[in-house]
Structure 1
Amino acid sequence: MELFPDKRNLVNIIEQAHKGAVCLPEFQREFVWSREEVADLLRSIVRRYYIGSLLLLRCDPNNPPFAPRFFRGAKPQYHQPRPESLVLDGQQRITALLYALTAPNLGLKDSSRRRWFFLDLKLLLEDVYDDEIVFDRAEDELADLLTEQTQYQKLVLPCTRLLNSRDFLKWRDGLDDWLRENSPADHQNFRDKWRDPWTDLVTAFQNYQVPLVELPRVEDSDSEAIGRVCAIFEKLNSTGVALSVYDLLTARLYRHGIKLHNLWERACKAHPRLAAWSEGKAEKNNFGVLLLRTLALLRDVKPTPRELIDLDPENFEKDWRRAAQAMEKALELVTLVAPDGFGAFDPKWLPGSGLLPTLAALRATIEEKKLGEAARADLRRWYWCNVFMERYSSAVESKSRKDYIEMLEYWQKGSPEPSVFTEAKALIGSPSYTIRDSATTGSAVYSGVFCLLALRNARDWRRGESIQLQDLQDHHIFPRGYLQQRGFTKRVEINTIVNRTLISDETNNKIKAKSPAEYLQSEDIFPAGAKSELLQPHFIGPDALEIMRAATEDLGHAELRKVYEKFLSIREAAIIAEIRRVTGVEKSPGGMA
């Protein structure tokens, strides 16, 4: 797609936005700037600062590719938007300037009342870097500042005179006449010192140019070109809030009378887990897009951005409700701390959200087709295989489609075993399979192990209560301070998942940097003693416990390294054995016990 880089007069763009020739696509979020942010943008332009670039999309006014809406505060020529361009990046800046230069009867983020913005002309010449060069007033604060006589008296220019040069020059000539009649001394200063610099400042403001990238027109039917527009937007967007496929589809469906935001709100009201995990926001954790991917899979459509943007509006609301119900059921499975569930008792322990649409679509198909326990067991196996191979950390869309088709054909047509199971046997069943390098919550393996701990009913050592009654966190078994004091410096070696388990912050604070041998004997940490029934669910069996008791305060670096390595080997073997069980993977000959 050819891009058209350019520089454009900013005030002209504001004029076009005011008339409705430049519009916003419906997916753009609301204007959120405060009074001070508007004032600061004005100061930046007066001082000739760089204020960023704009990204526009050329349009056929009669058939724009996204549903358009007018800028906030616009006074358009037409009742319905007929945009020549849509603003993809620059909404907040254009809306802020439109507000300052036209003073519409609207509030701002931090003021429900209409505001007028002014330039202090005298201060502009004395110190352009003084922030008081721009100020704003509400109606009850104006004190006649909207009358030209008061403006001339105080040498204050309303920003509404900046939108075109004719208005400013008329105001300036009026000031000339007023000073001649009412203040001869100031009139002389105006002639000698003020008029030309003020005129130059305002002219510079009105001629201020911004870098602009304009995208060529795309046809409404050209989903490939629209996909490229979306990709370009995500690359060039300078606001830090990238628009998702959900936002873009919102605008395209709007023209068919489908209000995706309303559908989202109804879905959250109907499905408490979806509402909780998304915090009621489609953009939170990308749940709006996840629901669209689920819908696409259930429609037998590839869940790629290009396909999602072009989803057929026919029966969309019905399919959306089906996808939302499927996602709710998937989250029920994910959060269930029971043998049939996946143990993600808190959203932070979800081993990646990318597999949720496939899980949701597969679970929905099992229920709709009334498939039996074998399919449900396969689904649990599929889930754990993906977690412990971290398959959904990249190329999510292609894997989703492939897995969905292979699983359905396996269940309904007796096709060969899905490739995910073959891959798991080769990787997880290998003698070289290890989880040592997983050391952060960004790893699906790391989160997956904590979910297994929850499913094993791992309890806090001090309180001994079920995980549902406690806010348990990931903490070290061999304390970080204890290891660091003895020369251990590698973060992965200290923070590996093999050295982490679920205990409360309170228990961890009592352990601090104590040696395992010392804290195992503490009644304050183990009131009922460090018994195997309490430690076994933490993958700490008798052999691992014996090694911990050998980790005393008097060990030096070399001795501790041997002890620590032995502990990690024993505990890793126990965790991998459980991983192989839940993934249905038999270890390869010569593999770990």
Structure 2
Amino acid sequence: MLGQDIDLYAVRGRLRQWFWCGALAEQYGGTIETLIARDAEQVAPWAMAAKDGASVEAPDTVVRAQFAESRLLSLKSKQSAAYKAIYALMMAQPSPCMDWKLHQMIDHTSYTDFVVDIHHVFPKKWCVDNAIDPDRRESIVNKTPLSKVTNIQLGGLDPRLYMSKLDSNGLSPDQVDDLIRSHAIDPAYLRAGDFDAYFADRRRRLVTLVEAAMGQAVNHDIDSVELSEGPEAFGPIGDDPTDSDEEE
């Protein structure tokens, strides 16, 4: 359908935008036969038009894509397409996320080799002990991909303590901070144990990633009186049974 032109930078850029619009906006979550047929008809001409700047209407999957910032509060399970898409997006960045202990890139290969899974940044035990509400504790904003060995070292520790442990793995504090930043996290908030500041900052960083991938602004409704997609719209917030904070 696209032939060798699929490798052209401009063409691939539009294909990436189409992919992230479909994944992050969860447009392939229901009956998909009609959507597949529509995309097969609309995506290729639009992508090819990027070669010479021809005017071709964007496919419906791109035009109709919407993402509300408040959706981040309800994404708590790997059963959600957008949940998986956000972490795939993190690993697809030009400078993808790195494992905090192994100092290795987290990608489709190492994901299996290092037994990578999605784990809490501020551990579940710490959140419970410090009365962090379940909505934020279990939100995707408080999760990140880490290897099994790294998650075991972090355990349920206060981030101020586990950052000190990470500093003792043969890396300088500055090097550890760079690893943390690769996950769209400001390490200063972990070193200070400041959950509220961390949560607000990382939420903004994830929104920036989503906007760049979709090529459009998200609905910044998080501070509005009525959220577009609050946690209650997707059922009660509880523990993700597939996630655990293991201890050494």
Normalising by structure 1, we get a TM-score of 0.32
Residue 489 (structure 1) shift: 5.8
C-alpha change, 1:373 and 1:523, in structure 2 (3 Å) is: closer
Q: How many residues align?
A: 209
Q: Check whether the contact 1:450–1:501 (CA below 8 A) recurs between aligned residues.
A: yes
Q: How do 1:285-304 residues align onto structure 2 when only pairs under 5 Å count?
A: none
Structure 1 runs not aligned, ≥5 long: 1-364, 552-562
Residue in structure 2 matched with residue 576 of structure 1 by the alignment: 207
Q: Check whether the contact 2:20–2:214 (CA below 8 A) recurs between aligned residues.
A: yes
Between the aligned partners of 1:387 and 1:533, the Cα distance in structure 2 is 28
2:75 aligns with one of 414, 435, 438: 438
SS at match of 1:391: coil
SS at match of 1:439: coil
Q: Does 1:419 align with 2:60?
A: yes
Post-superposition CA distance 1:517-574 (Å, at most 9, x none): 1111225765314433211111113xxx2222232xxxxxxxxxxx423311110111
1:506 aligns with one of 129, 149, 152: 149
Q: Check whether the contact 1:366–1:375 (CA below 8 A) recurs between aligned residues.
A: no
Residue in structure 2 matched with residue 519 of structure 1 by the alignment: 162
Task: Name the aligned partner's letter for residue 35 of structure 2.
Answer: K
What is the identity percentage for the equivalent residue pairs of Structure 1 and Structure 2? 20
Task: Name the aligned partner's letter for residue 417 of structure 1.
Answer: A
C-alpha change, 1:591 and 1:581, in structure 2 (3 Å) is: farther
Between the aligned partners of 1:438 and 1:464, the Cα distance in structure 2 is 27
Residue in structure 2 matched with residue 402 of structure 1 by the alignment: 38
Q: Does 1:533 align with 2:175?
A: no
C-alpha change, 1:523 and 1:422, in structure 2 (3 Å) is: closer
C-alpha change, 1:439 and 1:530, in structure 2 (3 Å) is: farther
Q: How do 1:374-385 residues align onto structure 2 when only pairs under 5 Å count?
A: 374-385=10-21
Q: Check whether the contact 1:435–1:445 (CA below 8 A) recurs between aligned residues.
A: no
Indicate the structure with greater strand content: 1
Q: Check whether the contact 2:5–2:11 (CA below 8 A) recurs between aligned residues.
A: no
Q: Check whether the contact 1:453–1:502 (CA below 8 A) recurs between aligned residues.
A: no
Q: Check whether the contact 2:207–2:218 (CA below 8 A) recurs between aligned residues.
A: no
Residue 475 (structure 1) shift: 1.2
Task: Name the aligned partner's letter for residue 61 of structure 2.
Answer: V
C-alpha change, 1:373 and 1:529, in structure 2 (3 Å) is: closer
Q: Check whether the contact 1:474–1:502 (CA below 8 A) recurs between aligned residues.
A: yes
C-alpha change, 1:442 and 1:590, in structure 2 (3 Å) is: closer
Mark the structure with the bigger radius of gyration: 1
Residue in structure 1 matched with residue 235 of structure 2 by the alignment: none
Normalising by structure 2, we get a TM-score of 0.72
SS at match of 2:117: strand
SS at match of 1:521: helix
Residue in structure 2 matched with residue 270 of structure 1 by the alignment: none
Residue in structure 1 matched with residue 87 of structure 2 by the alignment: 450
Between the aligned partners of 2:126 and 2:220, the Cα distance in structure 1 is 38
Post-superposition CA distance 1:317-348 (Å, at most 9, x none): xxxxxxxxxxxxxxxxxxxxxxxxxxxxxxxx
C-alpha change, 1:404 and 1:474, in structure 2 (3 Å) is: same
Q: Check whether the contact 2:160–2:190 (CA below 8 A) recurs between aligned residues.
A: yes
Residue in structure 2 matched with residue 475 of structure 1 by the alignment: 119
Between the aligned partners of 1:487 and 1:402, the Cα distance in structure 2 is 48
Q: CA RMSD in A?
A: 3.0
